[in-house]
């Protein structure tokens, strides 16, 4: 599935739990902020947002990484799982943003 992964650099405190859970997807940059890696290795650009093609297992790992983030800095959207992520955000933050983007917390 195609998954859009974004780290809010203002929310990220560099706790690195996302890196521990999903090191193939997240890495800390020189500013101690999590960036989203190109899983194919083809693009070395350091970016806080990227579209990735992921398997179901990889998706679950990325979801766990998002849930592990203490500041809810990881956002993700997939056409197949928008509702799941949206429910997480509604339940955790007490309201919908009105967008397809959401986050989860553990």
3-state DSSP assignment of residue 48: coil
Which position among 29, 47, 61, 71 is part of the footprint of ligand SF4 (CB under 6 A)? 71
Q: CA nearest 104: which of 59, 61, 74?
A: 74
Which position among 3, 5, 22, 34 is part of the footprint of ligand SF4 (CB under 6 A)? 34
Q: Give dist(CA 64, CA 22) in Å, integer.
A: 8
Give backbone dihedrals phi and psi of 60, rounded to 5 degrees, phi first: -65, -40
Could you tell me the smallest distance in angstroms from the CB atom of residue 11 to ligand SF4?
7
Residue 13 in contact with ligand SF4, rule: CB under 6 A: yes
Residue 52 in contact with ligand SF4, rule: CB under 6 A: no
Residue 64 in contact with ligand SF4, rule: CB under 6 A: no
Q: Locate 39 and state its tokens.
A: 């899983």
Beta bridge mates, 27: 35
Residue 18 in contact with ligand SF4, rule: CB under 6 A: yes
Indicate the pairing of strand 2-7 with strand 49-53: antiparallel
Could you tell me the smallest distance in angstroms from the CB atom of residue 28 to ligand SF4?
6
Which position among 37, 52, 62, 69 is part of the footprint of ligand SF4 (CB under 6 A)? 69
Residue 17 in contact with ligand SF4, rule: CB under 6 A: yes
């Amino acid at each position: 599935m195609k998954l859009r992964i974004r780290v809010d650099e203002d929310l990220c405190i560099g706790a690195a739990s996302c890196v521990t859970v999903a090191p193939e997807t997240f890495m800390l940059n020189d500013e101690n902020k999590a960036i989203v890696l190109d899983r194919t290795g083809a693009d070395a650009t350091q970016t806080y947002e990227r579209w990735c093609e992921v398997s179901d297992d990889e998706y679950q790992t990325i979801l766990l990484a998002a849930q592990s983030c203490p500041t809810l800095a990881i956002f993700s959207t997939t056409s197949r799982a928008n509702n799941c992520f949206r429910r997480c955000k509604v339940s955790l933050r007490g309201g919908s943003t009105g967008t397809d983007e959401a986050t989860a917390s553990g």
